[in-house]
Amino acid sequence: MSEETALLSSRDHDEYGTRTKPDAPFNTRVRSIVWGVLTLLTTAVLVVMLFFLDDLPDSLKSWAGGEPSDPMFAALSILDKSPIIDGHIDLPILARYRYANNVSSIDLNSGMPAQVDIERLRKGKVGGFFWSVYVSCADPDAEGEEFLNATWRVRDTLEQIDVSKLLIEKYPDTFQLALGTTDIKSAISHGKIASLLGVEGAHQLGNSIAVLRQYYALGVRYVTLTHSCHNAFADSCGIAPGKEPLHNGLTPLGLSLIDEMNRLGVLVDLSHTSDATAIQALKYSKAPVIWSHSSARTVHDVPRNVPDEVLKQITDLGKDAVVMVNFAPYFVAPDGLANVSAVANHVEHIGKIYCDFDGIGEVPTGLEDVSKYPALIAELYSRGWTKYELAGLTGGNLLRVFEGAEKVSKNLKAAGAQPVYDLYDKRTDIPRGGWNEL
């Protein structure tokens, strides 16, 4: 109806239009002059951009496809297109220890203790992160040599998955639960922070591969094979001065665990593992692997960092992987020397990135919390990294590896791979011979 009215009135106007007809040649002339001027202007702008790109202000330069000269300007514009995807943030354990997992008493908007809140995540241009649903290793004496008393770790892990999901739900305008790479991209394109779950140690599985399947069903998308303790699946590297090996890498149950992780599409995370565990897992896993938060041992020599020998294996074996750099000062540099340049040295050495906030007491100078990511990107930009390399570093590499693992899972399922039914051989609570034995 209103459309009809509009048409009629314009037609009316045309009929009475003593203005339109005599003005037409004038309008045409004006139009051609305007076009001429516009064409000249456009040409001039293009010429200036092509030949004087370096002299343009940064805002015009990056718009024209040039390289901005201010590293921070460059970092922020790269991050606008390719935000950070952080492999490991310890917010859930802070919720547990400081707030007894009472979500009502946690205000994530701003002013959180430690290094993470929404204000700083936004300022740091974070587009996604893995919420670490970590619980600590059991006391070896209480757990026993065979790790048989691990059951409370499963309860506690469920509580950490619960608190993470409740926090994600509490801020629907900020966070969006992500179960895969499609979800990550969709969350980012809607201006949300993609929220993934990662279990930081197979000690949290209660020695059971069935528990892995249920964590997967709850949304968990990586499992670190060990934390700082050995477990029934694999050896840890410990912290300092390191740990004597127990199994010399993976156990048979550890191999079965990787089979099931590959089948499900749960990323194998090798941070915290011993070098032997890492090399064996790298060789055995059909899917690309990750280090969710580990730095380079050549740059700073502690057992928790990845040695060149392992990094070289990635290339030698023709595997894909991503090493996300840990910011915890102890793993970055000698006492008091951890700063943004030192972290950049690790990144440059490894060639890839990511980090650990909220699980660390101290922080490197210049990287005090998640709002400071642009400083690291700016540092690397000023060292000559291209915007394509930096986009890979901020999130592209993780997405590529994760997509690789999703593909392996899809192919294994399509080929008819069955769930893994192996039980931990030290368990005596389940009869192996069937009901007849009872």
Ligand X SMILES: *[C@@H]1O[C@H](CO)[C@@H](O)[C@H](O)[C@H]1NC(C)=O
* Residues classed as catalytic: 88, 90, 200, 227, 272, 293, 356
From residue 223, how far is each of 68, 108, 367, 398 by CA, in Å? Answer: 40, 25, 26, 15
- The nearest distance, CB 367 to ligand X, in angstroms, is 10
| For ligand X, the closer CB: 155 or 410 | 155
| For ligand X, the closer CB: 178 or 340 | 340
| For ligand X, the closer CB: 151 or 174 | 151
| For ligand X, the closer CB: 274 or 339 | 339
- The nearest distance, CB 376 to ligand X, in angstroms, is 10
- The nearest distance, CB 365 to ligand X, in angstroms, is 6
Q: How far apart are CA 174 and CA 205, in angstroms?
A: 30
| For ligand X, the closer CB: 336 or 434 | 336
Binding residues (CB under 6 A) for ligand X: these are 102, 104-105, 142, 144, 149, 337, 339-342, 366
| For ligand X, the closer CB: 192 or 230 | 230
- The nearest distance, CB 81 to ligand X, in angstroms, is 25
From residue 45, how far is each of 54, 113, 346 by CA, in Å? Answer: 14, 49, 41
* Amino acid found at 330: Y
Residue 316: Cβ within 10 Å count: 9
Residue spans of alpha helices (H) in 125-274: 140-143, 151-170, 181-189, 209-218, 252-264
HSE-CB at 189 with a 13 A cutoff on CA atoms is 6
Structure token pair of residue 54? 């370096």
Q: How far apart are CA 121 and CA 129, in angstroms?
A: 10
Residue nearest to ligand X (CB): 144
List the beta strands (DSSP E) in 135-263. Answer: 175-177, 193-199, 220-224
Structure token pair of residue 160? 């950490």
Q: How far apart are CA 296 and CA 302, in angstroms?
A: 9
* Amino acid found at 17: G
Evaluate whether 201 touches 144 at the Cβ level (below 8 Å): no
Output DSSP code: residue 245. Answer: -
- The nearest distance, CB 379 to ligand X, in angstroms, is 7
